[in-house]
Amino acid sequence: DAGVTQSPTHLIKTRGQQVTLRCSPKSGHDTVSWYQQALGQGPQFIFQYYEEEERQRGNFPDRFSGHQFPNYSSELNVNALLLGDSALYLCASSLPTGTDTQYFGPGTRLTVL
Amino acid sequence: DAKTTQPNSMESNEEEPVHLPCNHSTISGTDYIHWYRQLPSQGPEYVIHGLTSNVNNRMASLAIAEDRKSSTLILHRATLRDAAVYYCILRDVGGGADGLTFGKGTHLIIQP
């Protein structure tokens, strides 16, 4: 049973560019959450997708957007990249109820130059 | 989610038990206590969770204070593979749409 997969593993972009990160959830999971983890910090919640809709959003600007496909996979898009967007981006999948475990992927390391 | 407080780092020896504390004095009656850990260069992974009673699984035990204002994650026999950052997180039972609120966690160092 494949776990959560993310692509690409690493990515280098320059300021002002746009980036798309991809996530495939664990088999049987229909809910995908995205997190940003800066160096030395805990992950910060960006948003969650369920039934192809954004269900909840953390404190992130509109430059961060997402999408969920009918097969439950998801994309995270970041526009107008800033140096401060350099981080590890983590995807987690789960079932939609309150106490269900979130299963994390290995992350995508984004570097903005 | 209510706030939790953990020590920045702890050190232990291999094959000895490890007790990782977490304070959550403002916990509500519907908050579950979750523990995740993050091994180097990996995403976080679930360890254990509980509401009121102590819990055991193959990875660890969770001891919850009677007033629920603190809890302790217990690794019964630490190995070098247990070196990681451990996060204590409160999650409301109705918070399905809410992301996990991570603090800085406790960096556990295991000495051989």
Q: Answer whether B45 touches A (CB < 8 Å).
A: yes
Q: How far apart are CA A76 and CA A73, in angstroms?
A: 11
Write down the residue that tokens 């991570």 correspond to.
B102
Q: Beta strands A87-94 and A108-112: pairing type?
A: antiparallel
Say whether B80 sits in a helix, a strand or coil: helix
Q: Is the pLDDT of residue A98 over 60?
A: no
Q: Which amino acid is present at B81? A: R
The per-residue pLDDT for range B9-67, each reduced to its tens digit, is 999 999 999 999 999 999 999 899 999 999 998 999 999 999 999 999 999 999 999 99
Q: Which two tokens stand for residue B86?
A: 């451990």
Q: Answer whether B7 touches A (CB < 8 Å).
A: no
Write down the residue that tokens 């970041």 correspond to.
A78
Q: Which two tokens stand for residue A75?
A: 């994309």
Closest approach of chain B CAs to the CA of A70, in angstroms? 19
CA neighbor of A63 nearest in space, from A74, A79, A75, A76: A79
Sort out which chain B residues have CB atoms less than 8 A from A107's CB and list them.
42-43
Cβ of A106 and B32 within 8 Å?
no
What's the pLDDT band for B95 if we cut at 50, 70, 90? low
pLDDT > 70 fraction of chain A, expressed in percent and rounded = 96
What's the pLDDT band for A100 if we cut at 50, 70, 90? confident
Rounded CA Rg of chain B: 13
Cβ of B44 and A43 within 8 Å?
yes
Q: What is the mean pLDDT of residues B83-94?
A: 91
Q: Is the pLDDT of residue A92 over 90?
A: yes
Q: How far apart are CA B7 and CA A94, in angstroms?
A: 29
Contact B109, B85 (CB under 8 A): no
In this structure, what are the phi and psi dihedrals at residue A11, rounded to the nearest 5 degrees? Answer: -155, 135
Q: Is the pLDDT of residue B97 over 70?
A: no
What's the pLDDT band for A74 if we cut at 50, 70, 90? very high
Sort out which chain B residues have CB atoms less than 8 A from A55's CB and list them.
97
Q: Which two tokens stand for residue A1?
A: 């049973």
CA distances from A108 to A42, A102, B26, B111 (A): 15, 17, 34, 30
Q: Is the pLDDT of residue B1 over 60?
A: no
DSSP A14-83: -TT--EEEEEEPPTT--EEEEEEE-TTS--EEEEEEETTEEEEE-S--TTEEEEE-TTS-EEEEE-S--G
Q: Which of B45, B97, B101 sits opposite A48 (nearest CB)?
A: B97
DSSP letter (8 states) at residue B77: S
